[in-house]
Structure formats: structure tokens, C-alpha cells
């Protein structure tokens, strides 16, 4: 996970005095000046122009008191961040009832921009963390709050983390050896120490999964070939299911495999759990890894982000009411012949970079359009092609599953005639169902 505290320093943190009135334009200008002073790749005026251009497309407000303006720097490779606390608030958009009190400006190269935005938005969902930031009285105090969050809380067993992890992993190995044909997966992000992971698994035939390669040196990557997962910010209760679905779709594991998962809370520094998974039962319904893997154009960061949004919509609804909707991701060419617009496409005419589901400033827009009938059609790279889209694909009589409502039948149908994945939210049960190849493969 990205250490955002390392992207800040006290020179790029503004604590606006309580008796000072400031508007959005002046605030953005100050933040751009702070970044350009520390980064000679772009001048403050050029940066301000890029930031304003992005602001004109969609509001970058992420919550009642939070905004994350951002811009891509042509030719930029690194990333920089600045922040401001505004005790009296600043009017940010048409929502004049909720002035923004905390602003982060994130700028950098195209390659990691959306990923960083998504990770930052996830980190800022913690209300306690936000409160500590907005009540910071100095840049030093603000930075301290941010870096303490990067480091994570001190666990009561911190001095015994390795002993606990070794004991958990030893039991996982015994369970694997006791179950004929079982395989073991180590979820490495819980440990966060590549050298210790190497010591732990050496000579033991273990499949390693992680959210990134930065834990490991070149030798480790060559010897163990860990599988890099894009799932971040997913509830722990369903994290293992997402991992298994991905590995199954990629053919790394089979539908009849028994998997021993050794895992813990990412970033905690130790393993705390063992979970024995039988694939057919874990994913609830039969799934054949031979019936079609993930669409070749689908980036797993896109799939993970859609699942995150679907889970949020299912749990929270919209304006206090339950919401049902459908997301179709990947295989644009296969999906397109079976679509037509029920309404004027609200995403038509925008640049691809302004309507990517990985961009957290799009989240509120997506949640608002989730209230209308029809599906979201999303390209594999995360670009939202349309909303309010009618789907005409139908499964064969043999493939049709009984008891499906119209939305879930549409999800089954479009995945039966294309290689896309469909994620449906039930308005009545608030469950999230994933369809692939005309079948339900997961229900959350």
C-alpha cells in the first residue's frame, strides 16, 4: 500500500487561520505554488491551469468536508501531494451547505495517477482519521497524524509478531499435509517483510500472493514468482473470496482444489488466521475455469474497484433507500452488439480520462446514476462507456437459471453471449452477485 505520508512534507501543508476567509481559486493557487517550489518539472501557473481544467469536468469533492483536486503532468513520472486544512471551510461546488474543510492536491504522471487517487480515497474514508487531520493545528501535527496512519497502530503482541506468524504458518502447513491434495496460499501483505517471508516459506512449496512487488527483492521474485493482486480496501471478510476468484479465473488453481489460506490483516505485521477453502463451496455455485477466464482486456484493478463500489451501494443504498443496479465490465466488442440506450448516455462526450471508475471523484456520480434503470458498461481499463443501458443478450434455455429477477437475468444473459463479467446488486436482498459465462460465480 502506498505511503502517502512520504509524499508530503511540512512545506506543502497549509493550516489556514480560523479568522481568514479564502476562496477555492486562491486555495488552489497556494497549493500549486507549494508543489511547484519543490518540483521543477512544472510551473505553478501551468499546474494551476491543469487543475482548473480537471475541476471544470466533475467536482472533486469526495465527501461533505473533503475534496481531492488532481492533475496529470505531461511527461511526469513521480507524484507530489499538498494539503490544506480550512477551519471555516471553503465553498467547493454547488453544495454550498457543506463547505470543504480538508483538501489534498495530488499531481503526477499518468501511469500511477488513478491508482494513487483510488488508494488515497480509500484511506480517507476513516472518519476518525479525517477528524484528526482537520483538527491539526500545525503542519508538523498534520504530518504526524498521516505518518502514524501509514505505520499502523502498535499491536499488543508487537514483540511476538514473528513467533505468532511462525506458529500460524506451521499449523497451516500441517493442515495442508493432512488434507490430500491441498495447496497453501500465503497472503504476504499481512507480514510486510520480504526477508522474513523468504525465511518462512523456503523449501515449502507455497503460493504467495501480495498487493504489490515492493515487498520483495529481485531474487525473491525470480524464485517464488508471487502473484500480484490488485485488491485493496476490500472488507477482510470477503478478501479471501476475491483472491480465490481471481486465481481460479487465471487458471492458477482449479475448481476442485482445497486451499489452505494463511493470512492476517494487511499491514498488521503478522499472520492471525487459517482458512480451509474448497473452491466450489467458497464461491457458492459451480464455476468452471475452462468456461472462460477473465476478459483479456479487463484490468483487475477495474474489477476490484467495481466490486468495492457495488459492496458500498449494497450496504449503504442511496439517500437512505436500497439501490439495485448492474455493472458490465470488459469485452467491449462482445458486449456492444447487445446494448442500446434507454436514456441519453450521461457519459457521452467526456474524455476517457475524465470518466474512469478508478478516479474517486467519479464515485458520487456513479452512485447517483445507479438509481436509474439499466446497466453501466465499463471498459476493461475502467473507462465508463455508458449508464442507463439496456441489455438484450439472452442465455440459452439450458443455461437459464430459475428464480432470477430481470436485472440478474440480464447479467446472466450478457455474460452468456460475451466474455464480460457482470456484477449485479439486488435491491431487495442487498446482495452482490458476480456472473461469468452465463453463471453465478460468487455471491456476497
pLDDT band at 366 (very low <50, low <70, confident <90, very high): very high
Tell me, yes or no, if the pTM score tops 0.85.
no
- For strands 100-108 and 66-67, give the pairing: parallel
In this structure, how many other beta carbons lie within 10 angstroms of the beta carbon of residue 80? Answer: 22
DSSP strand E in 194-290: where? 207-210, 227-228, 258-263, 273-278
pLDDT of residue 210: 87
Sheet holding 439-443, edge to edge: 339-341, 384-391, 375-378, 325-329, 421-425, 432-436, 439-443
State yes or no: pLDDT of 287 exceeds 50: no
Top pLDDT among 300 and 432 is at 432
Region 326-343: mean pLDDT is 94
Parse the chain into domains and list their residue ranges: 3-148, 158-283, 300-443
Among 127-131, 200-204, 271-275, which is the least confidently predicted range?
127-131
In this structure, how many other beta carbons lie within 10 angstroms of the beta carbon of residue 409? Answer: 18
pLDDT of residue 1: 46
- Distance CA(443)–CA(248), nearest Å, equals 16
Q: Domain 300-443 maps to which CATH number in 3.40.50.11540, 3.30.300.30, 3.40.1700.10, 3.20.190.10?
A: 3.40.1700.10
pLDDT of residue 28: 94
Cβ atoms of 322 and 430 within 8 Å: the answer is yes
227 backbone φψ class: left, alpha, beta (φ>0; ψ -120 to 50): beta
Region 373-396: mean pLDDT is 90
The residues near 346 (Cβ < 8 Å, ≥ 6 apart) are 369, 387, 388
* Architecture in CATH for domain 3-148: 3-Layer(aba) Sandwich (3.40)
Cβ atoms of 330 and 441 within 8 Å: the answer is no
Identify the top-confidence range among 208-212, 288-292, 363-367.
Answer: 363-367
Among 36-50, 170-184, 243-257, 329-343, which is the least confidently predicted range?
243-257
pLDDT of residue 155: 54
Give the helix/strand (H/E) hosting 316: helix 300-316
CATH 3.30.9.10 fits 158-283, yes or no: no
Q: Does 300-443 match 3-148 at the fold level?
A: no
- Distance CA(102)–CA(65), nearest Å, equals 6
What cell was used for 342? 434507454
Among 64-78, 146-160, 193-207, 213-227, which is the least confidently predicted range?
146-160
Amino acid at each position: 500500500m502506498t505511503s502517502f505520508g512520504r509524499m508530503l512534507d511540512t512545506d506543502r501543508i497549509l493550516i489556514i487561520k480560523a479568522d481568514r476567509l479564502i476562496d477555492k481559486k486562491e486555495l488552489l493557487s497556494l497549493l500549486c505554488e507549494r508543489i511547484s517550489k519543490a518540483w521543477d518539472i512544472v510551473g505553478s501557473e501551468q499546474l494551476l491551469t491543469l487543475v482548473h481544467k480537471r475541476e471544470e469536468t466533475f467536482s472533486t469533492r469526495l465527501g461533505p468536508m473533503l475534496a481531492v483536486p488532481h492533475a496529470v503532468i505531461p511527461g511526469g513520472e513521480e507524484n507530489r501531494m499538498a494539503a490544506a486544512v480550512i477551519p471555516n471551510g471553503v465553498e467547493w461546488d454547488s453544495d454550498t451547505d457543506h463547505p470543504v474543510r480538508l483538501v489534498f492536491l495530488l499531481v503526477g504522471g499518468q501511469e500511477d495517477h488513478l491508482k494513487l487517487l483510488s488508494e488515497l480515497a480509500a484511506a480517507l474514508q476513516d472518519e476518525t482519521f479525517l477528524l484528526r487531520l482537520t483538527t491539526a493545528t500545525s503542519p508538523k501535527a498534520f504530518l504526524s497524524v498521516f505518518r502514524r496512519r501509514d505505520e499502523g497502530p502498535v499491536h499488543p503482541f508487537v514483540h511476538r509478531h514473528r513467533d505468532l506468524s511462525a506458529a500460524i504458518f506451521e499449523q497451516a502447513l500441517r493442515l495442508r499435509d493432512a488434507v490430500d491434495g491441498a495447496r497453501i496460499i500465503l497472503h504476504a501483505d499481512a507480514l510486510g517483510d520480504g526477508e522474513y517471508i523468504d525465511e518462512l516459506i523456503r523449501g515449502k512449496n507455497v503460493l504467495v500472493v501480495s498487493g504489490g512487488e515492493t515487498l520483495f527483492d529481485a531474487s525473491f521474485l525470480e524464485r517464488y514468482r508471487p502473484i500480484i493482486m490488485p485488491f485493496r480496501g476490500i472488507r477482510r471478510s470477503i478478501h479471501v473470496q476475491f483472491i480465490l476468484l481471481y486465481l481460479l479465473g487465471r487458471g492458477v488453481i482449479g475448481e476442485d482444489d482445497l486451499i489452505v489460506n494463511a493470512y492476517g490483516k494487511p499491514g498488521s505485521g503478522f499472520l492471525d488466521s487459517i482458512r480451509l477453502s474448497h473452491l466450489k463451496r467458497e464461491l457458492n455455485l459451480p464455476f468452471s475455469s475452462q468456461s472462460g477466464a477473465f476478459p483479456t482486456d479487463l484490468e483487475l484493478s477495474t474489477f476490484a474497484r467495481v466490486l468495492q463500489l457495488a459492496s458500498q451501494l449494497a450496504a449503504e443504498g442511496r439517500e437512505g433507500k436500497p439501490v439495485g443496479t448492474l455493472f458490465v465490465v470488459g469485452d467491449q466488442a462482445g458486449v456492444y452488439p447487445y446494448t442500446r440506450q434507454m436514456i441519453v448516455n450521461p457519459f457521452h462526450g467526456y474524455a476517457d480520462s475524465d470518466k474512469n471508475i478508478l478516479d474517486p471523484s467519479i464515485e458520487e456520480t456513479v452512485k447517483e446514476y445507479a438509481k436509474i434503470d439499466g446497466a453501466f458498461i465499463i471498459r476493461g481499463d475502467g473507462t465508463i462507456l455508458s449508464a442507463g443501458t439496456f441489455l438484450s443478450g439472452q442465455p440459452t434455455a439450458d443455461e437459464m437459471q430459475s428464480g432470477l429477477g430481470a436485472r440478474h437475468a440480464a447479467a446472466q444473459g450478457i455474460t452468456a453471449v460475451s466474455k464480460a463479467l457482470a456484477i449485479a446488486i439486488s435491491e431487495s436482498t442487498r446482495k452482490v452477485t458476480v456472473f461469468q459465462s452465463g453463471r453465478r460465480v460468487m455471491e456476497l
